[in-house]
Every structure is written in C-alpha cells, then in structure tokens.
C-alpha cells in the first residue's frame, strides 16, 4: 500500500511549487459546502461510505489545506488534513472525482533538554525552544501539585523528554511528553508517561489533569478510538476519532465534565449532537442522540454527571450508540486515556511495572542533567491545527 501511495503523494508535492493554493477551512464550512463552492459534484460526498462521510465532519475549523487547480481553474486535487496522521485526498480526472483518506507521513524523533531556571519554567522553555506547546505541557503537568512561584529559585534545573513529529525536516504537530523533572530546593519532582498513556508522579499517583466521568452508565465500548488504521479488507485507511458506547435507545447521556454547551443542534454525520467546552482547552462531543434533555441549549453551563440527552441513532449511524469525542486544542484525542478509572493511584503489578519505567526515565534524566543537553529549536513548527493565540499566554506566569 505504501508503495502505491508514495508516488501519488510525491507527485502532488512536486506539483506544489507551481499552482498549489493554501487555504483555511472556514467556520461553518462542511465538505458539501466545500464541494459546492468549488463547483465539484456533490456525488463525491454521497458516494463515500458512512464512515468516510462521518470523517468529513472531523475537518477542523481553521485547518490549513491545499488545493491544486488545472489551467482552467478547476480543482484537480486537494489535501485536507483530518488530524496529524490522516488527510482526505481528493482527485479529479476528466470530470470524474474521488476521495480517499491517505496517511500524512512524518518522522517521530525523541528529544530532550535540560534548562536552568532564569525567570519561570514557562518563559524559559518558550525562550529556549520557541515552543509555547512545550511550555504549556510542562507547566500543565505540575500545576496541581507544585507552586513554582513560591518554591522555585533561580538556578534550579528542569528536564523534559518528549517526542516531536517532523515533516519535510520541519517540526510538525504537537509534541508529546514522555517525562519531565523539576528541581526545587534540591528536591526532584517528576511526571512520567506510563504504558496506559496516562501520566503519573514519582509516587505512582495519577496526574490530575482533566478527568472525565463516563458519559453513559454500564455501557460497553463497541468501537475504540483510532487516529489512523489500515483496513486490511477494504484496503483503505480509516479513522475513528472517538469512542462508541453501545447502549439502548433512550439511555441517559451525562456531561463528562463541568463546562459550557457550545453547540446543541443537528449535524449531518453526527445527527443530534452536543459539544461542551471545558477548562484547559478541552472539548467533548456527544453524537447520534435521540433527543436533548429539555432545557439544554447553547451557552448554558453544565455540571459533570448532569443529563444532557439520550442515546439514539440520528445522523449517519448503524444503530443506537453514543459516539463520544474528546478534543484538546481542537485535536481529537483518545477519551480512554482521560476517562476516570476507579483508582487513580497505581497498585500491585501495575505499580511495579510503572516503577521500572520510572527508573529508566530517571536514569535518562540524570544523563541530561550531566550532559546539560541543549534544547532543539521548534519555532518553525508546521502545525496543521489552528491554535488560538491567546491560549497559554495568560497561563505563562503560573
Ligand atoms: Zn463513533
């Protein structure tokens, strides 16, 4: 498959230089309005299978996409990212067009650095790396347990180990933390990423970031989250940017966290859908509802556990279920890495497995402290996501 896709990809890239247009996916734009605007046949959309039709609902407002036109100005190709691993590839040839999800190729590098505090972790990390995202990740990881302003001294040291994607040699998309350490008054504090993709402190206690409650009770997961997978039978790439919970029609759906309803309405793919904004640039999405709870509307505040609607099968759906999506900075992430588990502290075998991982990270952190590993610059990041500017800047002093 890769052998098939790469030539298409490179053909596109090599044509770039000539007539490629970069555009921004506008608010309110849907795949259908996009086709209409570009005078493309709507059958392109209607010929897609249900899963791919629903996938078009995931195109992020503000995302940068590329269009290639032929001499008479008609669209011949377009590449529209769905996330940092998958994009919709539209091709038109002599009036016949088709769309297929194809991978976004990138290389992942593991990187690390050590810094000595001059002013504050946020400011120093941003200054040294050029990355607001890294600064936010670091500060966010410790904000509930440490008080930097009170306890940090100039000269204390910090280490970050993370992975960063690169595309065409440039940093691309969001970094992902592996481990972070900060010294305060000679004592070291760490956060570590465990195999379950959650973060824990040096005692094996889960870092309390944004903990979600289950949106439906006693429901089984009928389809897990995937950013990109290759379907061996269909020989196509797919993605499922949420978790499906199988539940009877009419089962109450609860807000997974405190927040504000920013959308309660109908969407072609997701049917009756509610979106809730939460603290920390998180958003949750509840799709295919049969109906909303009376009184739930745009702009209202809801509490974690509050009933907002009922399971149904509206929109593009094969049967009653809740499609539950979680987004951070508009990027779909796996809700299962954030949904609350019964115990948030590790015990038994899980704890000893974690302690081994922690030990390896600690040894690595020691190496970077001794080597005084210098940071990579990430200024020229090719984010495919639109990230609001104001985010993070006010958190800078925490
Ligand atoms: Zn789903």
Same domain? For 11 and 98 the reply is yes
Greatest distance between any 2 Cα atoms in the chain:
69
Q: How many domains does the chain have?
A: 3
The CA 256 to ligand 1 mean position distance, Å, reads 16
278 CA → ligand 1 middle, Å: 21
Residue that terminates a domain, selected from 293, 310, 337: 337
Q: What is the CATH number of the domain that holds 237?
A: 2.70.70.10
Place of tokens 């800078």: 396
Model pLDDT for residues 168-220, shown as the tens digit of each residue = 788 888 899 999 999 998 899 999 999 888 889 988 888 876 678 889 988 89
Ligand 1: centre distance to CA 394 (Å)? 35
| Ligand 1 centroid distance, CA of 101 (Å) | 17
Residues 229 and 328 in one domain: yes
Model pLDDT for residues 51-60, shown as the tens digit of each residue:
899 999 999 8
Same domain membership, residue 150 and residue 53: no
Planar angle of CA 38, 331, 12, nearest 5 degrees: 45
- Which percentage of the chain shows pLDDT scores above 70? 89
Give Cβ neighbours of residue 39 (< 8 Å, ≥ 6 apart).
74
Q: Which residues surround ligand 1, an ion (CB under 5 A)?
A: 242, 244, 323
Residue 303, strand partner residues? none
> What dihedral angle (degrees, nearest 10) is formed by the CA atoms of 135, 131, 60, 143?
0
Distance 273 CA to ligand 1 centre (A): 12
Q: Does 215 map to a domain?
A: no
Ligand 1 centre from 82 Cα, in Å?
Answer: 15
Q: What six digits make up the tokens of 116?
A: 């000595």
**Number of helical H runs and strand E runs in the chain:** 8, 23
Domain annotation covers residue 213: no
The answer to the question of residue 43 being in a domain is: yes
Q: Tell how far the Cα of 60 is from the centroid of ligand 1, in angstroms.
A: 17
Q: Domain check: are 48 and 76 in the same one?
A: yes
Is residue 92 within 8 A of residue 75, CB to CB? The reply is: yes
Asked whether residue 126 falls in the same domain as residue 181, the answer is: yes
Residue 260 falls within a domain, yes or no? yes
| 92 CA → ligand 1 middle, Å | 29
- What CATH number has the domain bearing residue 93? 3.10.450.350
Q: For 146, phi and psi rounded to 5 degrees? A: -125, 155
**Quick one: which of 292, 220, 226 has its CA closest to 255?**
292
Shared domain for 111 and 167, answered yes or no, is yes
Distance between Cα 57 and ligand 1 center (Å):
12
Report CA(214)–ligand 1 centroid distance (Å). Answer: 15
CA of 245 to the centre of ligand 1 (A): 8
Torsion 142-145-146-149 (CA) sign: positive
What is the rounded distance in angstroms from the CA atom of residue 26 to the CA atom of residue 33? 10
> Do residues 350 and 204 both lie within one domain?
yes
- pTM of the predicted model as reported, rounded to 2 decimal places: 0.77
Range of the domain at 124: 107-208+344-395
Gap from CA of 331 to ligand 1 centroid (Å): 16
Q: What is the mean pLDDT of residues 62-76?
A: 88
- Final residue in a domain of this structure, among 103, 137, 166: 103
Question: Among 103, 132, 149, which residue terminates a domain?
Answer: 103
Model confidence pLDDT, tens digit, residues 89-140:
999 988 799 999 999 988 999 999 999 999 999 999 999 999 988 999 999 8
Residues 87 and 116 grouped into a single domain: no
Give me the half-sphere count of Cα atoms (radius 13 Å) on the Cβ side of residue 207.
28
């Amino acid at each position: 498959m890769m052998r098939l896709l790469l030539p298409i990809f490179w053909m596109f890239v090599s044509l770039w230089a000539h007539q490629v247009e970069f555009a921004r996916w506008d608010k309110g734009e849907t795949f259908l309005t996009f086709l209409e605007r570009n005078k493309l046949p709507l059958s392109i959309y209607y010929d897609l299978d249900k899963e791919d039709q629903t996938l078009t609902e995931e195109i992020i407002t503000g995302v940068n996409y590329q269009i290639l036109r032929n001499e008479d100005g008609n669209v011949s190709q377009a590449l529209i990212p769905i996330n940092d691993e998958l994009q919709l590839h539209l091709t038109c040839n002599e009036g016949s067009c088709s769309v297929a999800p194809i991978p976004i190729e990138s290389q992942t590098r593991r990187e690390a650095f050590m810094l000595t505090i001059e002013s504050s972790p946020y400011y120093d990390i941003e200054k040294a790396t050029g990355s607001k995202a890294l600064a936010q990740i670091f500060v966010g990881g410790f904000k509930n347990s440490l008080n930097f302003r009170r306890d940090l001294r100039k000269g204390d040291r910090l280490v970050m180990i993370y992975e960063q994607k690169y595309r065409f040699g440039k940093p691309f998309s969001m970094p992902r933390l592996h481990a972070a350490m900060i010294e305060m008054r000679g004592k070291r504090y760490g956060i570590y990423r465990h195999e379950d993709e959650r973060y824990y402190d040096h005692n094996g206690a889960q870092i309390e970031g944004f903990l979600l409650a289950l949106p439906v009770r006693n429901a089984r997961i009928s389809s897990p989250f995937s950013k990109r997978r290759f379907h061996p039978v269909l020989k196509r790439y797919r993605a499922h940017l949420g978790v499906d919970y199988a539940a009877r029609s009419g089962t109450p759906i609860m807000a997974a966290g405190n927040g504000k309803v920013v959308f309660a309405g109908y969407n072609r793919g997701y049917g009756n859908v509610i979106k809730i904004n939460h603290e920390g640039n998180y958003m949750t999405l509840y799709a295919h509802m049969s109906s909303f709870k009376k009184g739930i509307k745009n702009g209202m505040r809801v509490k974690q556990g509050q009933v907002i609607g009922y399971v149904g099968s509206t929109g593009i759906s094969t049967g009653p279920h809740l499609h539950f999506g979680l987004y951070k900075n508009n990027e779909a992430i796996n809700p299962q890495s954030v949904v609350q588990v019964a115990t948030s502290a590790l015990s038994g075998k899980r704890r000893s497995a974690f302690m081994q991982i922690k030990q390896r990270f600690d040894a690595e952190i020691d190496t970077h402290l001794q080597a005084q590993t210098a940071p990579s610059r990430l200024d020229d990041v090719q984010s495919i996501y639109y990230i609001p500017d104001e985010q993070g800047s006010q958190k800078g002093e925490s």
